[in-house]
Amino acid sequence: MIISGLAFYLFSIIAVVAAVMVISARNPVHSVLYLIVVFFNSAALFVLMGAEFLALILVIVYVGAVAVLFLFVVMMLDIDFTELREGFLRYLPIGLVIGLILLVELFVVIGAWAFASDAANQIAAPAPPADQVDNTLALGRLLYTDYAYLFQAAGMILLVAMIGAIVLTLRHRPDTKRQRVAEQVARRPDEVLDVRKVNPGEGI
Amino acid sequence: MTPVPDLFPALPEIFLALAAMALLMVGVFQRHDATRMVATLSVLALAVTGGLVLFVEGDATVVTFNGLFVVDGFATFMKLLVLLGSALAIIMSLDFIEREHMARFEYPVLIVLATLGMLMMVSANDLIALYMGLELQSLALYVMAAFRRDTLRSSEAGLKYFVLGALSSGMLLYGASMVYGFTGATGFADLAAQLTAADGASIGLVVGIVFVAAGVAFKISAVPFHMWTPDVYEGAPTPVTAFFAVAPKIAAIAMFVRLLVGPFGELVAQWQQIIIVASILSMALGAFAAIAQNNIKRLMAYSSIGHIGYALVGLAAGTDAGVRGVMVYMAIYLAMNVGTFACILCMRVNGRMVEGIEDLSGLSRTNPMMAVALAIFMFSMAGIPPLAGFFGKLYVFMAAVDAGLYTLAVIGVVTSVVSAFYYLRIVKLMYFDDALEPFDRPIGRGMGVILVGTGLFTLFFFVAPASLVGAASRAAATLFAG
């Protein structure tokens, strides 16, 4: 009990500190690296909660793909981040005021919160007991049986996203030189080679 | 083993999804001039889907996919309208996209995929399914708005639509999460059961419903969530605008109707005021803001905002008759709008598209047939009897009066009179002003057929309104049966 409590506070503190560093680091590359630290610690928190599937997905997808993509973008694009951040201090007071207003409103709403009487029994997809199935299996069952329709719909959405990216960005440049493997393979020696007998001292 | 869900009710959607993928293959492997062929096949696929929609319709409401998907008379009616709107949009686009060098085979495929999303929206029986359908439709529409990627205005329209659309999706999701967090259910049947049992609505649930309503109001461009409409309609290529103005609106309003009278049906008192306010504001803005417009596409954007306001009058009534009014209104709206956009797509001088209202001056002398058609549509949109637009308004106002919403009906009639000003201004320009340079001819056979068809429907609707209205009543009744 104590060990898991200590682990929780360790991971949370590191996550929060790293999150602050993400927005305060001067060098954007450092920001992305801090973001990776946040992801790792959040994954550890998920493991503590017993959600090992989410933890691994977080590491694989966010650290493995998204953060690396961020790094690419940050390093490839020539953006002057110090210039972008110039107004930060100037807008801090009004930002704080707006944040405060939102916080107060949240408290007002939550203060008057009343759950419907049997809401707890109505949960659309209740979590199965953890000692019977591990959560990868539970998620898989839900995704591929109950929500198979939504799974397919998500696939169609990704297809549209792919088509959209191609439609909006792909350009056919006629002057680009492309490698045509089929033509290269199909070349025969007698079409491109001309064997001549060269006598000494004469030339062709 | 989990049993395989009953796929039969979703046959039209499954067919359309497979057809879209097949069309992509055809487009990729048919190297040259694939656009016309893919477009023709797309129209064919939409027609077959329409047949399947009629084929799977049974007498009773069918729910499948673990309660995520529903087929009833209401869904069938709205799906047929959506399919018709999309097919006509493809036919109208063909000449334009070839002329303006934007003929790529992805264009009809994107329309087909957007249509698939709309069918899923109409049949959604769960908040998650609703969101999935909506996103499938919206993503395809964002791409289409920016389809002419080399022109600044089209890219701007696409970006604006994308950013505001993403914002509205966020609001919708936030609202849906509130509703889920509050009731523990996302399925419409569960929600309906839950919300009947609970006495009154708590503040958290109301907040959720408000956010969901705001998200959907963005999609149907009801005031005060209309800001994107004029810019997107003006910037997007004209046939894309013609598509935007018809099918997506029908699908979104169908989804809105199902959502409000289905799961939230017992909370009429909570959402009715939202709909009434949105309806009044939309009608007023549609009437007054359009007066100052000189670009016909912008004018049509404001006009469509106004029309959505009238359709919401029927929804505000929240009754069987109100839903019937909405359905009839959307069917007539489809005919009028497709016809008007067919005219706009014919506005071409010396091979160049023109969009100003003044360009229509003296059309009655240079092209009398088109002037007559456009005059019919304008009179109908203004709601002048005995044209179809009058009947559309009549049914929604009748429903509002029956439900005791007298103020709403009166405001509707007043704004309708105001909006008649700018519709009739176009008629005046065409018939009484000096002729300018004539529009290019011929307009193409497909366009001619669409113009004559929608024109005759609008003109002679009063002869036999019973068939459409009867079908709408039967369809609306299925929504209130369960």
Residues B161 and B145 sit within 8 Å (Cβ to Cβ): yes
- Segments of B65-188 assigned E as strands: 69-71
Per residue in A130-144, pLDDT (tens digit) is: 667 788 888 888 888
DSSP state of B352: E
3-state secondary structure of B349: strand
- Residue B199 has what pLDDT? 60
> Please, which residues have CB within 8 angstroms of residue B256's CB and are 6 or more apart in sequence?
B213, B216, B220, B315
Please give the C-alpha separations between residue B79 and each of A30, B63, B66, B232, B333, in angstroms, as whole numbers: 52, 16, 21, 25, 15
pLDDT, tens digit, 9 for 90 and up, residues A72-84: 888 887 666 666 6
| pLDDT score recorded for residue B303 | 94
| Cα separation, B454 vs B461, whole angstroms | 10
Contacts of B146 in chain A (CB under 8 A): 168
Pairwise CA distance, residues B122 & B188, whole Å: 13
For residue B107, what pLDDT is reported? 94
Number of H helices, E strands in chain B: 19, 4
Q: How many CB pairs under 8 A join A and B?
A: 111
Beta partners for residue B319, in sequence order: none
- Whether pLDDT at A110 is above 90: no
Residue B87 Cα distances to B24, B345, B450, angstroms: 17, 16, 11
What pLDDT shows up at residue A85?
A: 66
Q: Among B87, B57, B111, B40, which residue's Cα sits nearest to residue B453?
A: B87
Alpha carbons A90 and A109: distance in angstroms, whole number: 31
Q: pTM of the predicted model, to two decimals?
A: 0.88
For residue B268 the two structure tokens come to 């009429």
Q: What is the pLDDT of residue B1?
A: 52
| Chain A interface, Cβ < 8 Å to B | 109, 112-124, 145-150, 152-154, 156-157, 159-161, 163-164, 166-169
Q: How far apart are CA B233 and CA B240, in angstroms?
A: 8
User: Is the four-CA dihedral B284, B287, B291, B295 of positive or negative sign?
Assistant: positive
- The neighbouring-strand residues paired with B349 are B352
CA distance B426 to A184: 63
- H helix or E strand, kind and range, residue B58: none
Question: From the list B5, B139, B180, which residue is nearest A164 (CB)?
Answer: B139
Residue A86 corresponds to which amino acid? Answer: E
The angle formed by the CA atoms of residues A190, A191 and A193, to the nearest 5 degrees, is 60
The shortest CB-CB distance from A122 to any of B68, B147, B183 is to B183
Cβ–Cβ below 8 Å for B202 and A157: no
Chain A residues lying within 8 Å of B134, measured CB to CB? none
Tell me, what amino acid is at B67?
G
Q: CB atoms < 10 A from the CB of A52, how many?
A: 14
Q: What is the pLDDT of residues A175-190, one digit of tens each?
A: 888 888 888 888 888 8
Length of chain B (residues): 482
Pairwise CA distance, residues B359 & B373, whole Å: 16
What is the token pair recorded at B321?
Answer: 């008759």
Neighbouring-strand partners of residue B70: B63
**Cα dihedral B226/B227/B228/B230 (nearest 10):** 90
Which residues does chain B have with pLDDT short of 70? 1-2, 197-200, 482
